[in-house]
Amino acid sequence: MHRKLIISAFSNLYTDQRIEKVCRTLYENGYDIELIGNSWNGAEEMSRPYPFSRIKLASKTLKTAYFEFNWKLYRILKKKASHNTILYANDLDALVPNYILSRKLNIPLVFDSHEIFSEMPAIQGKMSQKLWRFTEKSILPKIKFMITASGSYAQWFRKKYGVHPVVIQNAPRKAGFNSEIPDNNPKIVLYQGAINPFRGIDKAILAMHHLENVIFKIAGDGPRKEEYEQLVIKEGLQHKVEFLGKLKPEDLRLVTLTADCGMSIEENGGESYFYSLPNKVLDCIQARVPVILSNMPEMQKIKKQFDVGEIIESHHPENIAKAIRYVLDKGRQNFQDELEKAAGVLCWENEELKLLQVFEKIQ
């Protein structure tokens, strides 16, 4: 019988597919799981085969929400954890209470860094960045079991703090592809994910001026949505750009299958973005949809290994349009062999083996 495992994250859990995959893998391999999230951004109904709860937050700002969540999480973990518990913290914003308690009870802690939290665009140059950097510097060198989401992240953490994280990419589960490739008219270019700064969405909207018989669909929500909706109106592109809103993961998968090409053209908004491997790249590959990529390390690696799309020369709208045109002219059908190979390698079934190996070392 495995030890009890308490997994926690500053997340409402509903759309966090990495956490869901980790929990399901461990649950299906006999771990007694409990998952703890919070109510920030709403607590939508969901069902899981293992127990989960969300800490209710009264805070109105993200800054105070972090403090409130960490304080409440510590109190909950203190009640629930024993000497027979393994703690699992997702990202730096859930690490401190887990770390304190793991030291206090002398129990194992696994830290899963989905990104380089202290280098995210939203906190560049702010006091909060200094705080997160101090937290990293104080705790990370003392952590024995660390996981991160890309090879470039692992290299960054190794260089900065002397730690050696295990790389577990946030790949989707294998999806057998037997659908017919749709003959879309106009052709569909899809962006899926958060509508945040530094995602290249505004430049992709402007690229639509340089493309004919193409519609750009944006699936997701976020702080820049209203601004980009206004940009579409200002540029007179309402007939070429469509906002689909936030979709359930299963509905998003169906939408992805209908696209002629996907898009992941993140800009260099700091090292967390620069070294990332966005989920949407792997989601598109698993849906056998070619993808327009940024010229950044992890996306370069995939393009060198598998011809699954095209890398943009720069974020100028004309260059984005050029890459889109190339992929659409070549046609989704002509990328299928390479996408099929990539989908067999870049899948959760391969990544979860590494996760289970981490936990074998803990027992």
319-362 pLDDT tens trace: 999 999 999 999 999 999 999 999 999 999 999 999 999 999 99
One domain, residues 10 and 135 = yes
One domain, residues 310 and 196 = yes
- Say if CB 199 and CB 267 are below 8 A apart: yes
One domain, residues 165 and 243 = no
Say which range, 61-70, 93-102, 119-128, 186-195, has the weakest mean pLDDT. Answer: 119-128
Q: Report the pLDDT value the prediction gives residue 1, as an integer from 0 to 100.
A: 56
Encoded amino acid at 112, one letter:
D
176 domain-assigned: no
User: Which two three-digit tokens encode residue 323?
Assistant: 């890459």
Q: Report the pLDDT value the prediction gives residue 175, as an integer from 0 to 100.
A: 81
Helix or strand holding residue 309 (H, E): strand 309-311
One domain, residues 161 and 25 = yes
340 domain-assigned: yes
Coil, helix or strand for 190? strand
Q: Report the pLDDT value the prediction gives residue 245, as an integer from 0 to 100.
A: 94
- Say if CB 299 and CB 274 are below 8 A apart: no
Q: Report the pLDDT value the prediction gives residue 241, as an integer from 0 to 100.
A: 98
Q: Report the pLDDT value the prediction gives residue 272, as an integer from 0 to 100.
A: 93
95 domain-assigned: yes
User: What is the distance between the alpha carbons of residues 97 and 95, in angstroms, rounded to a whole number?
Assistant: 6
Report the share of the chain in percent with pLDDT over 90: 89
Confidence of residue 363 (pLDDT cuts 50, 70, 90): low
The range of the structural domain enclosing residue 285 comes to 187-345
> What is the CATH classification number for the domain harbouring 121?
3.40.50.2000
Q: Report the pLDDT value the prediction gives residue 201, as an integer from 0 to 100.
A: 97
- Say if CB 36 and CB 7 are below 8 A apart: yes
One domain, residues 338 and 358 = no
One domain, residues 211 and 304 = yes
Q: What is the pLDDT of residues 132-141, one digit of tens each?
A: 999 999 999 9
110 domain-assigned: yes
Residue 68 CB-density burial (10 A; 0-12 exposed, 13-18 middle, 19+ buried): middle
Q: How many Cβ atoms from other residues are within 10 Å of residue 330's Cβ?
A: 15
Q: Report the pLDDT value the prediction gives residue 124, as an integer from 0 to 100.
A: 81
Helix or strand holding residue 33 (H, E): strand 32-38
One domain, residues 147 and 199 = no
Q: What is the pLDDT of residues 252-301, one digit of tens each?
A: 999 999 999 999 999 998 999 999 999 999 999 999 999 999 999 999 99
177 domain-assigned: no
One domain, residues 159 and 243 = no
One domain, residues 235 and 90 = no
* Domain count of the fold of the chain: 2
One domain, residues 78 and 150 = yes
Residue 284: closest CA among 247, 259, 320: 259
One domain, residues 212 and 122 = no
Report the share of the chain in percent with pLDDT over 70: 99
